[in-house]
């Protein structure tokens, strides 16, 4: 018999339970649907990264992947019926939008006498399955992470042998992919499973031993940069966890904990879908409309070197270092007093790893409206953090050419140097010390 494998956040061939289940039944139509509702709502970086990842998957299937454009509730049953398939296999989706869409598609398939068959999850442990002794969801990270490790996960699957069934692509879909690639950020990573594997090996060889310390140094490339690959499923987290299983050290523990954050935020979103765009724990303080300052923040012209370096790295690579994500987010929410969704939207538009759960809960964590006991009154000092995390200023000089003439830590404080503004770097748009006081006053007036 023929089966359809509808690819979504699982753009890989190896270690793929849904693909293995489909292939075990006979020939497989591999399908990717460009859904205008998602496609038009995604920013240019995410579209480009998905397009590059779909192209890599197409190559890996020997060009057998079928790409179609349209509403999946129409397109998926159409393709399945045309192929004479009895079932459509998917990796189960857990986001609020994904679940609603999958319910619509399953209903449309059922009308035509076909079934939707979910297998697997984009996470090591499916969101919703780690529970407290009382069967409730975990509210904070540390006990979740402990229970998540105790729950455990499956080993990666051996590669399935797949007999692909070819069908025609449609022009509207291929055109969307081509256009998206033209608008890619200048320095996007190499897409696909091969890209993921190469980067992961480089991290195991050169980053992992120093990860526990080095992960906080944005100038050094010591983090894994697996986030874009995890986002589209070019690699599954259980593969990374399996590769770490017989290694020991602080770096390994720390890395597994970071993966647990990804799983935790997906779990929170599963239990509380409204937390995507609403405060989990509202602070009940007034927020400002930052006006032109929002543009200065978006383009990296706030006059605070570390903030500007991060925002420019985001536009150039579609990625930003984790610590700098925290500092730039703190600047928008605490120095410019904006409500976090304005920043979360910009990040989602420009990150290749842009992910509703990790991004929006990361923003809520910084804003102080989120899950954990992160003190909401903590305001990052962008200058102090710069001198601490980038002591020789090289991260700032890499991303802010107007400061390239300032040596060492001087790049963090152009206002202290007579030649600091000689190359067009903007003056500070706000006074951090004054805005910090404003933020704290708002908190104490609640």
Give the interface with ligand FAD as residue ranges (CB under 6 A).
215, 223-227, 230-231, 255, 258-259, 261-262, 265, 322, 325-326, 329, 347, 351, 353-355, 358-359, 362-363, 366
Spatial strand order in the sheet of 27-34:
66-69, 27-34, 2-7, 87-90, 115-118
Distance in angstroms (rounded) separating the CA atoms of residues 52 and 180: 9
Tell me if 403 sits within 8 A of 365, measured CB to CB.
Answer: no
Closer to ligand FAD by Cβ: residue 300 or 354: 354
Structural tokens at position 343: 């920043």
**In sequence order, what E strands does 35-156 have?**
66-69, 87-90, 115-118
Find the helix or strand (DSSP H, E) in which 151 lies.
helix 141-151
Structural tokens at position 165: 């069934």
Structural tokens at position 166: 């070819």
Closer to ligand FAD by Cβ: residue 217 or 301: 217
Structural tokens at position 174: 């291929």
Four-point Cα dihedral 385, 393, 355, 317, nearest 10: 170
The annotation status of 119 as a binding-site residue, yes or no, is no
Please report the DSSP string for 312-353 in residue order. Answer: HHHHHHS---HHHHHHHHHIIIIIS---THHHHHHHHHH-TT
Classify 306 as helix, strand or coil: helix
Write down the least CB distance from residue 285 to ligand FAD, Å. Answer: 19
Closer to ligand FAD by Cβ: residue 255 or 270: 255
Tell me if 167 sits within 8 A of 61, measured CB to CB.
Answer: no
Closer to ligand FAD by Cβ: residue 6 or 255: 255
The annotation status of 354 as a binding-site residue, yes or no, is yes
The annotation status of 265 as a binding-site residue, yes or no, is yes
Rg, the chain, Cα only: 23
Closer to ligand FAD by Cβ: residue 85 or 208: 208
Write down the least CB distance from residue 344 to ligand FAD, Å. Answer: 7
Closer to ligand FAD by Cβ: residue 244 or 329: 329
The annotation status of 233 as a binding-site residue, yes or no, is no
> Comparing C-alpha atoms, which of 130, 129, 126, 128 is closest to residue 144?
130
Closer to ligand FAD by Cβ: residue 170 or 210: 210
The annotation status of 204 as a binding-site residue, yes or no, is no
The annotation status of 373 as a binding-site residue, yes or no, is no
The annotation status of 264 as a binding-site residue, yes or no, is yes
Distance in angstroms (rounded) separating the CA atoms of residues 231 and 198: 17
Alpha carbon of residue 25 to chain centroid: 33
Distance in angstroms (rounded) separating the CA atoms of residues 280 and 272: 9
The annotation status of 258 as a binding-site residue, yes or no, is yes
Closer to ligand FAD by Cβ: residue 162 or 293: 293
Write down the least CB distance from residue 329 to ligand FAD, Å. Answer: 4
The annotation status of 302 as a binding-site residue, yes or no, is no
The annotation status of 317 as a binding-site residue, yes or no, is no
Classify 287 as helix, strand or coil: coil
Binding site as annotated, residues: 211, 223-227, 255, 258-265, 353-355
Binding site as annotated, residues for FAD: 211, 223-227, 255, 258-265, 353-355
């Amino acid at each position: 018999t023929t089966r359809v494998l509808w690819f979504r956040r699982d753009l890989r061939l190896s270690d793929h339970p849904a693909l293995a289940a489909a292939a075990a039944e006979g020939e497989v139509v591999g399908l990717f649907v460009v859904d205008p509702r998602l496609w038009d709502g995604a920013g240019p970086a995410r579209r480009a990264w998905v397009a590059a990842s779909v192209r890599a998957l197409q190559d890996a299937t020997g060009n057998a992947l079928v790409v179609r454009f349209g509403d999946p509730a129409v397109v998926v049953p159409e393709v399945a019926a045309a192929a004479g398939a009895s079932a459509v296999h998917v990796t189960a989706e857990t986001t609020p939008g994904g679940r609603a869409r999958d319910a619509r598609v399953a209903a449309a398939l059922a009308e035509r006498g076909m079934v939707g068959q979910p297998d697997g999850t984009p996470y090591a442990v499916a969101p919703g399955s780690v529970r407290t002794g009382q069967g409730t969801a975990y509210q904070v990270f540390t006990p979740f992470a402990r229970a998540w490790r105790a729950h455990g996960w499956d080993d990666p699957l051996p590669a399935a042998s797949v007999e692909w069934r070819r069908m025609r692509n449609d022009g509207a879909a291929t055109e969307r992919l081509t256009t998206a690639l033209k608008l890619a950020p200048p320095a996007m990573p190499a897409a696909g499973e091969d890209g993921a594997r190469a980067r992961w090996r480089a991290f195991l060889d050169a980053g992992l031993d120093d990860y526990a310390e080095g992960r906080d140094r944005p100038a050094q490339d010591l983090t894994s940069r697996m986030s874009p690959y995890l986002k589209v499923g070019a690699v599954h987290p259980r593969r990374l966890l399996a590769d770490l299983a017989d290694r020991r050290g602080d770096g390994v523990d720390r890395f597994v904990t970071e993966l647990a954050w990804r799983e935790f935020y997906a779990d929170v979103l599963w239990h509380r879908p409204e937390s995507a765009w609403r405060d989990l724990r509202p602070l009940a303080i007034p927020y400002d409309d930052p006006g032109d300052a929002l543009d200065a923040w978006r383009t990296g012209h706030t006059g605070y070197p570390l903030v500007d370096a991060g925002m420019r790295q985001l536009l150039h690579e579609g990625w930003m270092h984790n610590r700098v994500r925290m500092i730039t987010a703190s600047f928008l929410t605490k120095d410019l007093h904006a409500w976090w969704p304005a920043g979360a939207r910009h990040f989602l538009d420009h990150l290749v790893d842009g992910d509703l759960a990790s991004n929006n809960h990361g923003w809520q964590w910084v804003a102080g409206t989120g899950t954990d006991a992160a003190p909401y009154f903590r305001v990052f000092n962008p200058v102090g953090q710069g001198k601490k995390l980038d002591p020789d200023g090289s991260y700032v000089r890499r991303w802010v050419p107007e400061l390239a003439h300032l040596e060492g830590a001087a790049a963090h404080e152009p206002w202290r140097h007579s030649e600091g503004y000689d190359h067009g770097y903007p003056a500070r748009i706000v006074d951090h010390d004054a805005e910090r006081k404003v933020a704290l006053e708002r908190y104490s007036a609640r």
